[in-house]
A and B are shown apart, each in its own frame.
Chain A
Amino acid sequence: MMCSIQITKGLLDKYGPDRVLDTPITEAGFTGIAVGAAYQGLRPVVEFMTFNFSMQAIDHIINSAAKSNYMSAGQISVPIVFRGPNGAAAGVGAQHSQCYAAWYAHVPGLKVLAPYSAEDARGLLKSAIRDPDPVVFLENELLYGESFPISAEVLDSSFSLPIGKAKIEREGKDITITAYSKMVGYALQAAEILSKEGISAEVINLRSIRPLDRAAINASVRKTNRLVTLEEGFPQHGVGSEICMSVVEESFEYLDAPVERIAGADVPMPYAANLERMAVPQVDDIVRAAKRACYRAAPMAATA
């Protein structure tokens, strides 16, 4: 529960040392302790400095937290939140840049949220903490520094967002782009570029990776008939694969083009800035994929 990024700044003064605790850098130990406290009915919020380190504690997240309610036939509920930055930062290399959305969203018994805007962060975190089940809350280090306009309603202390509901960030009629976290911003930029070329893109901010808002995604695809899935993580078995399958299962006849998947490159994250740029999706990649789905001639590879 240490953080050099200071998300928890001020909380110690406000809530005291009984409730805001610095831990040693021992994820397996402190995560297990937090899950045990949750078994007893406390509501811990565990911070991983990044989700790369959650792998040291993943047995507790999955076997001790996610599965307990089912295995105990409802006797044990685990109202815990695991939060922290997820995905690529800038120049931190292969061991510090992985996106874990697909890994955790795979597991029954977990809820997985990925906020984009300040409104998302505030509303979803409150719901996550109030939720009686384990929630993995995937933030993004580069988004911490971004500012978002916010309404008075969002600033109200009772504001919260429901888990499992996506948000249509931008309405469109020609193509659907699904995204989460930092990629939502990129998708919005791509949509702006596409609109100047006569393609009206609908951008869905997933907000919730598990449960996925399949209804919203399918309703959008039924309207636009074309889909691009966008994520920063590795492509194989990623979030986009699940979204594609959901659309195939529920809205196959509505598709006018194959589903396009944009993901990070299938390599451990390189360090050099130019290589790193090529290893994560850029706005150009999104524009190109959208045009492909609309049968506009466009070169395939990122290097073209």
Chain B
Amino acid sequence: MAAAALLRRIPAARAPPTALMAARTISDSTAPLTIETSVPFTSHIVDPPSRDVTTTPAELLTFFRDMSLMRRMEIAADSLYKAKLIRGFCHLYDGQEAVAVGMEAAITRSDSIITAYRDHCIYLARGGDLVSAFAELMGRQAGCSRGKGGSMHFYKKDANFYGGHGIVGAQVPLGCGLAFAQKYRKEETATFALYGDGAANQGQLFEALNISALWKLPSILVCENNHYGMGTAEWRAAKSPAYYKRGDYVPGLKVDGMDVLAVKQACKFAKEHAVANGPIVLEMDTYRYHGHSMSDPGSTYRTRDEISGVRQVRIL
């Protein structure tokens, strides 16, 4: 082990292969790198952040590891559901991992996150473990909600993750309430309330945004736009699918939700904005490879070509 540790200090390309090294070493370098996001940010009544994102090789590798873990977890959940070991509802997040991972990289565990029912990966990002996630899905006591919640009701209060909500749109006013408490306690933290393009049309969102803007709450409304609300495409559900503009008097930013660095940059920007000025809307342009839930094949309202096309082009 001492030899391996020594070798790790030598850049991998020059390290001689020896019997002690089973594989090429992975960089844990914390030397800063600057990488440009895939596309520039589009903004609404605010100046967008820079496309240049600071990161490190070590951070990039944790991104890769975390997103791969999430992908594997969701695929495993798919198999377990088909084997009838998971019952009821199971909404999978594969394709959207960059949002969960990029957001987490931009904030601390003192900031709060609340989401809807597509919550397995947010739970993991907030420090949840695989065993308690799978145990919950399979209705066991070792589950994070001791088997009483199920797929849609994962929580991790000690990491300020407030669930896990089954009613479309309800989590947004709740998230603004979390922000209220943060402001009340003068904490200088923010709340990220995640919702989908389907929920974006809910009236209670606008009620909560109005109050958040009036009271300058540190609420960040994050629309994970995967372009389908259950089986309804966004253009059939929203007269204006520019979700980042729907806040009207509230600033907004449109982000490539499959570019983890863009997500990180946008969330960092949003947190600073929210703590200083009040609410902001982020629209994460993303995609889900599975259907709405395991009961939905996901191919009756979109073509398989579209799905495989996204896999090829969006590189996630």
Q: Does B231 contact A (CB under 8 A)?
A: no
A32–B155 CB distance below 8 A: no
Q: In the complex, are the beta carbons of A26 and B148 less than 8 A apart?
A: no
What's the nearest-Cβ distance from chain A to residue B247, in Å?
14
Given known pairs A71-B149, A72-B145, the reply for A60 and B173 (CB within 8 Å) is yes
Residue in contact with B210 in the complex, picked from A24, A39, A63, A75, CB distance below 8 Å: A24
Contacts of A21 in B (CB 8 A): 215
Decide yes or no: A76 and B157 within 8 Å by CB, A18-B184, A33-B208, A36-B181 being known contacts: yes
Q: Does A271 contact B (CB under 8 A)?
A: no
Contact A36 to B211, CB < 8 A, known contacts A64-B170, A71-B149, A75-B155: no
CA distance A68 to B167 in the complex (A): 13
CB interface residues, A 208-245, toward B, < 8 Å = none
By the criterion CB–CB under 8 Å, are B162 and A38 in contact?
Answer: no
How many Å lie between the Cα of A64 and that of B169 in the bound state? 11
Using A72-B145, A73-B148 as known contacts, say yes or no to A37 and B178 having CB atoms under 8 A apart.
yes
Q: How far is the CA of A242 from the CA of B215 in the complex (A)?
A: 43
Inter-subunit contact A64/B165 (CB<8 Å):
yes
**Interchain CA distance A29-B165 in the complex, whole Å:** 16
Binding site for A on B (CB under 8 A): 112, 114, 144-149, 153, 155-157, 162-167, 170, 172-182, 184, 203-204, 206-208, 210-211, 214-215
A33 and B211 contact, CB distance less than 8 A: yes
Structural contact, B146 and A28, CB atoms closer than 8 A: no
Report which residue of A39, A41, A64 has the largest number of chain B beta carbons within 10 angstroms of its beta carbon: A39
Instruction: Flag whether A160 is at the interface (Cβ < 8 A).
Output: no
Residues from chain A with Cβ under 8 Å of B157 in the complex: 72, 75-76
Instruction: List residues of chain A with CB within 8 A of the CB of B112.
Output: 40
| Inter-chain contact B204/A29, CB cutoff 8 Å | yes
Question: In the complex, which of the residues A29, A59, A72 contacts B211, with contact meaning CB atoms closer than 8 Å?
Answer: A29
Q: Give the CA-CA distance A76 to B177 in the complex, in Å.
A: 14
Q: A53: shortest Cβ distance to chain B, in Å?
A: 13
- In the bound complex, residues from chain A placing their C-beta under 8 Å from that of B179 are 36
A contact residues, total (Cβ < 8 Å): 31
Q: How far is the CA of A216 from the CA of B243 in the complex (A)?
A: 56
B153 in contact with A32 (CB, 8 Å): no
Q: Which residues of A contact B (CB under 8 A)?
A: 18, 21, 23-24, 26, 28-42, 59-60, 63-64, 68, 70-73, 75-76
With the chains together, A173 CA to B68 CA distance in Å? 74
Cross-chain contact of B145 among A26, A40, A75 (Cβ < 8 A): A75
With A76-B155, A76-B163 as known contacts, state yes or no: A41 contacts B181, CB within 8 Å.
Answer: yes
Nearest residue, chain B, Cβ from A25:
B207
A32 near B177 with CB under 8 A, answer yes
Contacts of B166 in A (CB 8 A): 63
Given contacts A29-B208, A29-B211, contact A36 B174 (CB under 8 A): yes
Query: Which of B156, B167, B174 has most chain A Cβ within 10 Å?
Result: B174
Query: Is A36's CB under 8 angstroms from B176's CB?
Result: yes
- Taking the nearest CB of chain B, how far is it from the CB of A30, in angstroms? 6
Q: Which residues of A contact B172 (CB under 8 A)?
A: 32
Q: Can you list 9 A-B contacts with CB-CB less than 8 angstroms, sorted by A residue number?
A: A28-B173, A28-B204, A32-B174, A35-B174, A37-B180, A63-B165, A63-B166, A64-B174, A76-B162
- Whether the Cβ atoms of A36 and B114 lie closer than 8 Å is yes
CA distance A60 to B166 in the complex (A): 12
Q: Are A29 and B184 in contact (CB under 8 A)?
A: no
- A36 pairs with B180, CB closer than 8 A: yes
CB distance from B168 to the nearest CB of A (A): 10
The residue on B at minimum CB distance from A80 is B177
How long is the Cα–Cα vector from A7 to B162 in the complex, in angstroms? 33
- Closest-CB distance, B214 to chain A (whole angstroms): 7
Q: Per a CB cutoff under 8 Å, which of A33, A41, A42 touches B173? A: A33
Most buried by A among B162, B207, B215: B207
The one of A18, A23, A40, A72 in contact with B163, judged by C-beta atoms closer than 8 angstroms, is A72
Question: Whole-angstrom distance from the CB of B189 to the nearest CB of chain A?
Answer: 10
Q: Whole-angstrom distance from the CB of B176 to the nearest CB of chain A?
A: 5
List chain B residues, Cβ under 8 A from A68: 163
Minimum CB–CB distance from A203 to chain B (whole Å) comes to: 41
A59 to B203, CA, bound (A): 13
B297 to chain A, nearest CB (A): 28
CA distance A290 to B187 in the complex (A): 60
Give A234 to B99 CA distance when docked, in angstroms.
49
Chain B residue nearest to A74 in the complex (CB)? B146
Question: Which 5 interchain pairs have the tightest Cβ spacing?
Answer: A36-B177, A32-B173, A29-B207, A40-B181, A36-B174
Tell me the complex Cα distance, A140–B145, Å. 39
- Do the beta carbons of A71 and B148 come within 8 Å of each other? yes
Pick the residue among B114, B163, B173 that contacts A31 (CB under 8 A): B173
CA distance in complex: A34, B164 (Å) = 18
Which of A21, A24, A37, A40 counts the most B-chain CB atoms under 10 A from its CB? A40
Residues of B within 8 A of A64 (CB): 165, 167, 170, 174
* Least distance between A35 CB and chain B CB atoms (Å): 6
Question: Which residues of chain A have C-beta atoms less than 8 A from B181's C-beta?
Answer: 36-37, 39-42
Q: Which residue of A30, A38, A41, A71 contacts B153 across the interface (Cβ within 8 Å)? A: A71
Question: Which A residues are in CB contact (< 8 Å) with B177?
Answer: 32-40
Please indicate the chain A residues that have their CB under 8 angstroms from the CB of B214 in the complex: 24
